[in-house]
Amino acid sequence: MKRLLILFVLVSIISCKPEKKQESIASPSLQDTTVVTYADGLSISREANGISLVEVRSPWPGAEKPFRYLLVPREQLAFTTFDKDAYDAIIATPVERIVVTSTTHIPALESLGVEIKLVGFPETRYISSEKTRKRIEAGQITDVGSNEAVNTEKLLALQPDLVVGFSIDNRNQAYDVIQRSGIPVVYNGDWTESSPLGKAEWIKFFAPFFGKEQEADSIFSQIEQDYLAARKLAADAPERPTVLCGALYKDIWYLPGGNSWMARFLEDANANYLWSDNEDSGSLSLSVESVLETAKNADSWVSPSQYTSYKEMGAANRHYSQFRAFRERQVYTFARTTGETGGLLYYELAPNRPDLVLKDLVSLLHPGLLPDHQPFFFKPLAD
C-alpha cells in the first residue's frame, strides 16, 4: 500500500510538469523593417523575438518572383511550426557552417567577423583575400567544384547549415539536389544592382544569418558616409574630364553601358563618360571605328580590360596609340592590384567598397582633390 502511494505521488508530479507549448506560426507579423536605402533587390523585416524575413526581389535579371527566406533563432525553431509553403527556405540562426559561391561574398563575411564559419567554396583559387587564403591553405575551406557544376557530394559531406548561391537564371540543378538533401539554399542578388552603394548595402543580407545586424549597419553607414563625401568633393571640381572605357577583344570593343555600375561611378566622380546617354546597364559591343570617332580625344581612359602597361597595350593593337589618352599617359587600370594567386582584387572587393573605388577615380581624374589618397584599385598604367 505504501509503495502504491509513493508511485501515485510520483505520477502526479510528472503529470503536473509544464510542457513547452508547440507554437504554430503561419505568417509572423514582421513589423520592424531594416532600412535598405540603395539596394533595389533586397528587403529585410524583423520581429521583436528575433525572427527575420529576408526577401530577395531580384536574384537575377527578369526574375518572375521574389524569394522569401524566414530566419528563426535555433532555440525557437525546435518548438515552432511554420507554413513552409509561404517561404522558399526556413533557416535556423545563427548559422554555424556556410558555403558561399561568389568571391564578392567573402568580404562581407570578413567584415562581419564570421569568415571562420565558411567551410566550402567553388574554385577556391579565385579567392584573393589574404585572410581567407590562409584558411584555404590550412585545409579549413573545401573546394566544391565550380558554381556551374558544384560537386554536390563534397558539399553535402561538409554538412553546411546554409548555401548562399547566385545564378543567372533558375536552372542550377546542383542547387535543387542540395535543397532536396535538406540544406537550404538562398540566392544573393547583389550582382544585379547597378548602384555602387546598392551593391555594398548587401552586407545587410548576410547580417541576420549571424545575428550581426548592428555591425552591418555600422559598416555600411561608414562606407556610405565616405562615398558621399568623395562625391560631394568631386562635384566641386573646376573641370569635368571626358572619359573612355574598355578595350578590344578580337574585333569588338567592349565598354560599359550608360546605366552600368561603372558609368555610375564615373558620374559620381564628376566625369563625362562619353556613352552616358546610353540606357544599357550591361556592356556595349562596338567597332573600333565607332569608338575612335567618339573618344579619340578623350581626356582619360579608365579600365582598359586587363592590360597593366602601355607596352603591353601597344603591342596588342596598333589602334590604341590613336587615342590621345594613351599617348598622353592618362590610362588607369585595376588590373595591377592582384591577390596571391593572381586574381584581380577589384572583382572580389570593389562591390563591397565603392568608397575606395570612387576615391581612386576622383584622385586620378581630378588631381589635387584628394592629395593624401593612395590609389587602391585603379592605378596609372605602367610604362
- What is the end-to-end Cα distance of the chain in Å, rounded? 102
- pLDDT for the residue 28: 55
Cis peptide, bond prior to residue 208, ω within 30 of zero:
no
- Which of 297, 292, 302, 296 lies closest to 366 in space, CA to CA? 302
Q: For the segment 289-319, what is each residue's pLDDT rounded down to a tens digit?
A: 999 999 999 999 999 999 999 999 999 999 9
How far apart CA 216 and CA 344 sit, in angstroms, is 25
Sheet holding 89-93, edge to edge: 32-34, 42-46, 52-56, 67-73, 89-93
- Which of 194, 219, 204, 206 lies closest to 355 in space, CA to CA? 219
CA distances in angstroms from 129 to 101, 163, 351, listed in the order given: 15, 20, 14
Q: Which domains does the chain have, with CATH numbers?
A: 23-223 (3.40.50.1980), 236-380 (3.40.50.1980)
Q: What angle do CA 153, 156, 161 make, to 5 degrees?
A: 165
Q: For the segment 312-326, what is each residue's pLDDT rounded down to a tens digit?
A: 999 999 999 999 999
Question: In which element (H, E) is residue 3 found?
Answer: helix 2-16
Question: In which element (H, E) is residue 360 found?
Answer: helix 354-365
- Bridge partners, 76 (sequence order): none
- Which of 322, 294, 321 lies closest to 310 in space, CA to CA? 321
How far apart CA 336 and CA 344 sit, in angstroms, is 8
Backbone angles phi, psi at 293, to 5 degrees: -60, -40
Three-state SS string over 75-117 comes to: HHHCCEEECHHHCCEEEEECCCCEEECCCCHHHHHHHCCCHHH
- pLDDT for the residue 15: 38
Q: What is the three-class DSSP state of 14?
A: helix
Question: Is residue 230 within 8 Å of 363, Cβ to Cβ?
Answer: no
- pLDDT for the residue 278: 93
How far apart CA 123 and CA 137 sit, in angstroms, is 13
How far apart CA 200 and CA 37 sit, in angstroms, is 11
Per-residue pLDDT of the chain (383 residues; tens, 9 = 90+): 333 333 333 334 333 434 444 444 445 555 557 789 999 999 999 887 889 999 999 999 888 899 999 999 999 887 778 888 899 999 999 999 999 999 999 999 999 999 999 999 999 999 999 999 999 999 999 999 987 789 999 999 999 999 999 888 877 888 999 999 999 999 999 999 999 999 999 999 999 999 999 999 999 999 999 999 999 999 999 999 999 999 999 999 999 999 999 999 999 999 999 999 999 988 999 999 999 999 999 999 999 999 999 999 999 999 999 999 999 999 999 999 999 888 999 999 999 999 999 999 999 999 999 999 999 999 999 99
- pLDDT for the residue 6: 37
- pLDDT for the residue 107: 97
- Bridge partners, 338 (sequence order): 344
Say what the pTM is. Answer: 0.89
CA distances in angstroms from 147 to 122, 166, 215, 233, 346, listed in the order given: 6, 8, 29, 40, 20
Question: Is residue 246 within 8 Å of 252, Cβ to Cβ?
Answer: no
Question: In which element (H, E) is residue 230 found?
Answer: helix 213-235
Question: Is residue 162 within 8 Å of 382, Cβ to Cβ?
Answer: no
- Which of 381, 377, 380 lies closest to 354 in space, CA to CA? 377
How far apart CA 60 and CA 50 sit, in angstroms, is 28
Q: At which residue does the C-alpha cell 548587401 appear?
A: 202
How far apart CA 20 and CA 38 sit, in angstroms, is 42
